Structure 1
Amino acid sequence: MARIVAGAGTSHIPAVGAALDRGEAGNDYWRPIFAGFEPAREWIAGVAPDVAIIVYNDHASAFSLELTPTFTLGLADRFLPADQGYGRRKVPAVEGNPELATHLLERLVAEEFDMAQALEMDVDHGLTVPLSVFCGAPDAWPFPVIPLAVNVIKYPQPTARRCMRLGEAIGRAVASFGEDLRVAVIGTGGMSHQLQGERAGMWNPEFDHAFLDDLTADPERLAGLDHVSLVREAGSEGMELIMWLVMRGALGDAPREAYRFYHYPASNTALGLIAFDCEPAK
């Protein structure tokens, strides 16, 4: 049977991908950030997932304000890096797993989650930067990916609790898949930041660290956060943290925190990363 063996949350800051792509990861500004990624890369190599479900948000690359699904599963064999106005990012195409993705779609709809389905979809920095965070710059990504796009851009966004419950349903759906697969779930976005308005550049380390703590200790508290509280405490783009709750919900009751990293600033954003193991300790 398929099983979820690990989960992680990470920021998907576009400047991180740009620094790697331009060969700037070793300069004074970016060096401590990429040094913080190294243990996460060793961790995921040890996890060795057969497939990853990556929860991210599209940034007007595949969708627009005229068509904004709440939850979208990518069912394709392959997903190309999106052109976000300066050409496609020069990273490998993302290979999919349509068999597991279709099974997830069927089971989630059966549990009354109204999922949109994408048979063709370009994926932008929201998905490719996390792959770079965990995998570096390989010639091919080391595992297939099922993209799960969540609307965090246009009101009304799904609630934190709805995202947690979606993750729990994903956990049940993976466990009901007959093929023997090791599955990782990665939630992306955040942490505290705002890109516009009077609070542009805001940073709330107290909120960020409490969020990281309660992903381990009290995820139900986080599921109770409303939209106003999230925006007030973490900024308008801090809303992206609801995608980490999809990941956390999928992991069940007792994952073990394996690694944590936090850094500010990364571009104009607080960067966070947390990793969980779900298998028995060796």
Structure 2
Amino acid sequence: MAKIIGGIGTSHVPTIGVAYDKGKQEDPAWKPMFDGYKPIADWLAKEKPDAMVMFYNDHCSSFFFDFYPTFALGISDAFPIADEGAGLRNLPPVKGNIELQAHIAESLVNDEFDLTVFHDKPLDHGCLSPLPLLWPHQPDWPGAIVPIEVNVLQFPLPTARRCYRLGQALRRAIESYPEDLKVVVVGTGGLSHQVHGERVGFNNTDWDHEFLELLEKNPEKLTELKHIDFVERGGAESVEQIMWLAMRGALGDSIKQTHLNYYLATTTAMTAVLYENA
């Protein structure tokens, strides 16, 4: 059967992709952030997972406020790269695995998660700002992506507990897949940041590290928080942290944090963390 071999939490700041495309990996302002992904990329190169499930939010590239699903899962053999206004990035289409994607979709629906299913829609920086830092992509990506979009933009949002339960259901779906695949689960977004309003530029380093500690050791406590709790502690956009809880729910009870890079140099606390089975 398929198995989950680890989890990754990562910010999906759009400027990460811009800096990557402009070759700023050695720029003093960006080097600490890019270097923080190298141990995770090395681990992925060693473990060679077949698929990566990515919890992300679409930034009105494929879904819009007249139709923005709570949870949506992509089923396609390839996903285009979204043009978010600056032209297409020089990345190959993201590979899919239709059999695995369809199995996960059916399993989640049977587990009472009412999914939207999408085909062939472009993926934006929610997936693609961190992905080239994790996986090589020339001439092609080494494995398949299972994109699971989560609504963190338009209220009502799914609760933190619902996202955690979604991750647990994902684990059941993957472990019931009959093919021997290695799967990594990724939660994207966050950590603390606010990009609009009176608190624009707000960060809370103490809360970020408390969140990371609880995510590893006591995620159930985080599921008790309301959306306003995340907003007050980490800024309006830090509600994206509920997607990290979906990733954490897929990992089971006993894990260990084997790498963490936390870099606060812009309006967002850019973070990359790796979890493995304890």
Contact 1:6–1:47 (Cα < 8 Å) also in 2: no
Contact 1:192–1:270 (Cα < 8 Å) also in 2: yes
| C-alpha distance in structure 1 between counterparts of 2:134 and 2:225, whole Å | 28
Contact 2:259–2:275 (Cα < 8 Å) also in 1: yes
CA deviation profile, 1:213-258 (whole Å, cap 9, x unmatched)? 1111111111111101011111111011100111000011112211
**2:33 counterpart residue number:** 33
**1:270 counterpart residue number:** 269
**1:156 counterpart residue number:** 156
**1:112 counterpart residue number:** 112
* Deviates further, 39-48 or 224-233: 39-48
Query: Aligned pair count?
Result: 278
**2:53 counterpart residue number:** 53
Q: What's the secondary structure of 2:271's corresponding residue? A: strand
TM-score, scaled to structure 1: 0.96
| C-alpha distance in structure 2 between counterparts of 1:223 and 1:29, whole Å | 35
2:138 matched to 1:143? Answer: no
Distance 1:49 1:221, change over 3 A: same
Q: Which amino acid aligns with 1:192?
A: S
Contact 2:57–2:152 (Cα < 8 Å) also in 1: yes
Structure 1 position 136, deviation (Å): 5.2
| C-alpha distance in structure 2 between counterparts of 1:231 and 1:92, whole Å | 35
**1:190 counterpart residue number:** 190
Q: Mind listing any 5+ residue stretches in structure 2 that lack a counterpart? A: none
Q: CA RMSD in A?
A: 1.1
Percent sequence identity is 44
| C-alpha distance in structure 2 between counterparts of 1:203 and 1:142, whole Å | 35
**2:238 counterpart residue number:** 238
2:72 matched to 1:96? Answer: no
Structure 1 position 47, deviation (Å): 2.3
Contact 2:33–2:261 (Cα < 8 Å) also in 1: no
Q: Mind listing any 5+ residue stretches in structure 1 that lack a counterpart? A: none
Q: Which amino acid aligns with 2:269?
A: A
Contact 2:12–2:125 (Cα < 8 Å) also in 1: yes
Contact 2:159–2:227 (Cα < 8 Å) also in 1: yes
Q: What's the secondary structure of 2:206's corresponding residue? A: helix
* Deviates further, 146-155 or 86-95: 86-95
Alignment of 1:77-96 (within 5 A): 77-96=77-96
| C-alpha distance in structure 2 between counterparts of 1:138 and 1:247, whole Å | 27
Contact 1:203–1:270 (Cα < 8 Å) also in 2: yes
Structure 1 position 139, deviation (Å): 3.0
Distance 1:17 1:136, change over 3 A: farther
| C-alpha distance in structure 2 between counterparts of 1:58 and 1:243, whole Å | 12
Q: Which amino acid aligns with 1:7?
A: G
Structure 1 position 115, deviation (Å): 0.4
